[in-house]
Structure formats: structure tokens, C-alpha cells
């Protein structure tokens, strides 16, 4: 597979209808994306950047999100998870409000660069439930792509945990939020379809 370059990142965003100012900001965000995710891999041993690109494309093509800032947020939604030390860089180039949105979408133990401890899961769920609609739709899109990627994961326990969390937390959260926006309504449908698909899988 060829390396991911600036053009591929901008293609995921599809900035053709964006204003000149928005296109300039997109190039800045795309370059930050290439820098921050560089060298990181996912559980499936694939380049980490494949994931935020997929989440961004999912939002744009399946949920019909077109707001530039939401798509830039999707592109960098895991930036502080993989690189908490990148916060000053993000603030310098994209502003404090943008970085604060990313921080609100990132688990505390990731921000603090420590192992997950007792109480962290409850705090993380509370944090996600408090997100505003357009930020929540990004976080739920992240979950959809993770679910679609489970088949490629070698970690059986990870698959079990993801499906349990889908049933116990993300589906009820999406159900409660579905009336807040058309995007969240569409995301609820997508998450439910993933749940049904996994329920119907024939397991050995």
C-alpha cells in the first residue's frame, strides 16, 4: 500500500465546495494529521492514519456531514490519544477552541499518559454523553469504524469488549441523542445496523 500523502487526506475531506479560508485551514489540519499520526499503528498493525481517514469519509459520505470544522475534528479526533504532547501544536495552528474539543473527546487516562484505572471507564462514558451533537456524531462514527474493523483484530477479548460496550452504552447513547440532529438520527441507524450484523454473524 502506498504511503498516505497530503492529497489523500484532502480527498477524504473533499474541500471542493469549501471557501478559500476553509481550504487553507484544511491544508493546515491535513499536514498536522500527517505529522501527529506518523509512525503510529493500530491493533491490526495497519497505519493509524487509515482510521481517521475512514471516520472522516464515513461521516461525509454515509451521514452526509458537510460542516468543515466537524470533518476536521473527525480527521484529528484521536490526535491527543496517540500524541497528548501534540496539544500545543494543535492549539498554535488550529486554535484553543478546536484543541479543547479534541480534549473533551479523549479519555482522561490517555491525556494523562497513564494506565487505565478504576473509575476511568465510568468517567469516559460520562464525558462522551456530555459532548455536543456534532462532536458526539464524530465519536460515534469512530465507534462504527472500529466495529467494522473488528474482523481484522487479532485480539478476541477486544472484540468481545467492543460488542458489549456497543450493546450496553453506545446504542443507548445514540438512541437518547437521535432527536438532537439529523446526523445523530442517521448515526443511530448505522450503529443499530452494525449491532444487527454482529448478532447475525455465524461464530465458530
Rounded mean pLDDT, 146-157: 78
Asked if 25 contacts 72 with a C-beta cutoff of 8 angstroms, the reply is yes
> In the prediction, which pLDDT does 202 show?
46
> In the prediction, which pLDDT does 1 show?
55
What whole-number distance in Å separates Cα of residue 95 and Cα of residue 169? 31
* Residue entry with cell 498554535: 92
> In the prediction, which pLDDT does 154 show?
67
Give the pLDDT band (50/70/90) at residue 162.
confident
> In the prediction, which pLDDT does 99 show?
98
Closest CA to 83 of 126, 45, 33: 33
Cα dist. 147→14, 144, 161 in Å? Answer: 24, 5, 11
What percentage of the chain reaches a pLDDT higher than 90? 79
- pLDDT tens readout for residues 171-187: 999 999 999 999 999 99
- pLDDT tens readout for residues 69-120: 999 999 999 999 999 999 999 999 999 999 999 999 999 999 999 999 999 9
> In the prediction, which pLDDT does 9 show?
96
- pLDDT tens readout for residues 24-60: 999 999 999 999 999 898 877 789 999 999 999 999 9
> In the prediction, which pLDDT does 61 show?
97
Cα dist. 131→95, 101, 160, 198 in Å? Answer: 19, 9, 26, 27
Phi-psi region of 113 (alpha: psi -120 to 50; beta: other; left: phi over 0): left
Rounded mean pLDDT, 129-151: 93
Amino acid at each position: 500500500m502506498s504511503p498516505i500523502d497530503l492529497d489523500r487526506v484532502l480527498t477524504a475531506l473533499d474541500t471542493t465546495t469549501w471557501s478559500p479560508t476553509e481550504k487553507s485551514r484544511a491544508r493546515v489540519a491535513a499536514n498536522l494529521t500527517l505529522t501527529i499520526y506518523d509512525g503510529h499503528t493500530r491493533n491490526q498493525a495497519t497505519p493509524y492514519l487509515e482510521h481517521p481517514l475512514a471516520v472522516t469519509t464515513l461521516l461525509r459520505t454515509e451521514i452526509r456531514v458537510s460542516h468543515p470544522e466537524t470533518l476536521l475534528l473527525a480527521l484529528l479526533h484521536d490526535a491527543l490519544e496517540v500524541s497528548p504532547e501534540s496539544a500545543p501544536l494543535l492549539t498554535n495552528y488550529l486554535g484553543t477552541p478546536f484543541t479543547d474539543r479534541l480534549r473533551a473527546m479523549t479519555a482522561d487516562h490517555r491525556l494523562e499518559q497513564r494506565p487505565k484505572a478504576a473509575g476511568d471507564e465510568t468517567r469516559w462514558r460520562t464525558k462522551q454523553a456530555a459532548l455536543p451533537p456534532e462532536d458526539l456524531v464524530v465519536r460515534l462514527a469512530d465507534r462504527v469504524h472500529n466495529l467494522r474493523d473488528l474482523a481484522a483484530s487479532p485480539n478476541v477479548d477486544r472484540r468481545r469488549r467492543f460488542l458489549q460496550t456497543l450493546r450496553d452504552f453506545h446504542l443507548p447513547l445514540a438512541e437518547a441523542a437521535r432527536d438532537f440532529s439529523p446526523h445523530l438520527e442517521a448515526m443511530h441507524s448505522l450503529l443499530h445496523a452494525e449491532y444487527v450484523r454482529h448478532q447475525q454473524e455465524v461464530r465458530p
